[in-house]
Amino acid sequence: MTTKKCSKCFEVQFLEEFPDRKNAKDNKDSWCRNCYHVSGNKYGNTEIGFLKKKYADIKSRCRIENRKCYFTVEEFLLAFYKHRNIYGMRSAWGPGVDHLDQHLPIKMIHVGEGQKGKKGVAKGTKRIASNLSVDRLDSNMDYTLQNLLFIRFDENARKNSSSYEDCKIQIRIHEERFINMKAI
């Protein structure tokens, strides 16, 4: 088996440990898979890296579900920054901006462990309940800035068993977005 030295970690490894790259002399990348994995996790734990991953997830979901995404990554980032200016690092899910103390805090922690599994989540990765989750206010509509909601993963996951209070919150946000026409 042929070996190669990684230009990132400087370890000599078998060629199979390097991703393919068409325009390289040996058709292999200069970094080994492990260095890419470590670098990706480091970038994923930055705010911009986490948000760009969320946007990529939305675009992927649109392709799978045959839906449309009507905003660019730049517009998505601006929408999040607008959310952060209004709510801080708290979920939009709650009684409203007059009661931000009752909105739960949001985190952005990327945990990548190995290869992606069936649903695009890395095998062995645990979902973090307090992590940012990007949701559609109305699941029957496509992805628009108006229909976008920045909430926590645990809040998004419990939608199938919504409480009366959850319904009141959803109706309030729906009225803000679609009747009063206030985007995020």
Please name the amino acid found at residue 138. Answer: D
pLDDT of the chain, 184 residues: tens digit per residue: 689 999 999 999 999 999 999 998 889 999 999 898 888 888 878 999 999 999 999 999 999 999 999 999 999 999 999 999 999 999 998 888 889 999 999 998 877 654 454 455 555 556 789 999 999 888 888 999 999 999 999 988 887 677 778 788 888 888 888 877 766 6
Please give the pLDDT value at position 114: 47
CA distance 127 to 95: 25
DSSP annotation string for 16-47:
GGS-B-TTSTTSB-SS-HHHHHHHHHHHHTSH
pTM for this one?
0.73
pLDDT given at position 133: 92
Give CATH 3.30.40 domain extents, the chain. 50-179
The vertex-168 CA angle with 167 and 174, nearest 5°, equals 85
- Name beta bridge partners: 28: 20
Give the per-residue pLDDT at 159: 74
> Strands, DSSP E only, in 11-167?
12-14, 132-136, 148-152
Classify domain 50-179 at the CATH topology level: Herpes Virus-1 (3.30.40)
